[in-house]
Amino acid sequence: SDGDPSIPIERPKITFADVGGMDTLKDEIRMKIIHPLAHPELYKAYGKTIGGGILMYGPPGCGKTHLARATAGEIKAGFVSVGINDVLDMWIGNSERNLHEIFDRARRSRPCVLFFDEVDALAASRTDMRHSGGRHQINQFLAEMDGVAASNDGLLILAATNAPWHVDPAFRRPGRFDRILFIPPPDATARAGILQLLLTGKPVQDIDHDQIAKKTDGFSGADLKAVVDMAIESKLREAMRDGIPKPMTTRDLTSAAAQVRPSTREW
Ligand code: ATP
């Protein structure tokens, strides 16, 4: 209701409970951005600086956006997601919106998680400017981040990249993205957890999550989602052919998995 309606503030309903695996990562996020908000005096007593952002990197589809959104839900904060198209629009001048407006909008919705997807588009190193707006924009972004660090005001900054080596070193100074977290492809335990979440509320029977997890080595969360979608589609076809809907089984899911290519192998 306040300010620029073209910068939507989400109120995510998902929390860390909706993120499979990633226990260490959740703990890092709690220590770095959730607890400091709840216990600023404790952090001060130990001389632990508050603020700064977290840069997540890793293969696509492994839950960076999902984790950022769940972080906002976890603390009932707002969520503003800035994607590559928003950034390109800014550079090309197609958009009224600029970086300052985005930070300002998030600041007015505190507590708020401000998430930059594919931040390399913004933060490409000065020697690799092909996809970047250039030095001026980099400096503007850094100035905004420094402002956030100085005021420690409930604005939490997360960013994601598939190409951390493109991110300018100036972004990684203290108070900026001073914590860099690798979001790996989910291991078997995490895949079982993700499958459980993806199948919640769907008609299933005797699902052996561990067995499906074993047969989906190299699959990202997004790949697993594709597997579930494919299994659902084949059940729908069967139901329409036979006139009886049947629940999904382990076998339905493993045969769907055999048709989906694991996307994290080459990363
Ligand atoms: P990209 O780099 O392509 O933006 P990403 O790492 O941000 O990828 P997400 O968009 O967060 O990946 O994940 C894709 C989808 O996979 C999510 O919408 C979610 O449904 C599912 N997913 C991924 N990881 C998990 C997880 N750990 N727990 C539950 N669901 C997950």
pTM (2 d.p.): 0.87
Helix H or strand E encompassing 56: strand 54-57
| Atom 24 (ligand 1) nearest CA | 63
Task: Tell me the average pLDDT across 119-125.
Answer: 71
User: Percent of the chain scored above 70 by pLDDT?
Assistant: 89
Instruction: Write out the two tokens for 90.
Output: 């800014």
CB-based contact 113:67 (threshold 8 Å): no
Best residue among 65, 85, 120, 197 to mutate for probing ligand 1, ranked by most atoms within 8 Å of CB:
65
Atom of ligand 1 at shortest range from CA of 56: 6
Q: Is the CB of 112 under 6 A from ligand 1?
A: no
pLDDT of 134 above 70: no
pLDDT level of residue 1 (50, 70, 90 thresholds): very low
Structure confidence at residue 126 (pLDDT): 53
| Atom 15 (ligand 1) nearest CA | 222
Nearest by Cα to 49 from 159, 182, 179: 179
Question: What pLDDT, in 10s, does the model give residues 183-220?
Answer: 999 999 999 999 999 999 999 999 999 999 999 999 99
CA 61 – ligand 1 centroid, Å: 5
Q: How many CB atoms lie within 10 A of CB 6?
A: 11
Atom of ligand 1 at shortest range from CA of 186: 27
Question: What pLDDT, in 10s, does the model give residues 220-234?
Answer: 999 999 999 999 999
pLDDT of 85 above 90: no
Which strands sit side by side in the sheet containing 155-161, from one edge to the other? 78-82, 112-116, 155-161, 54-57, 179-182
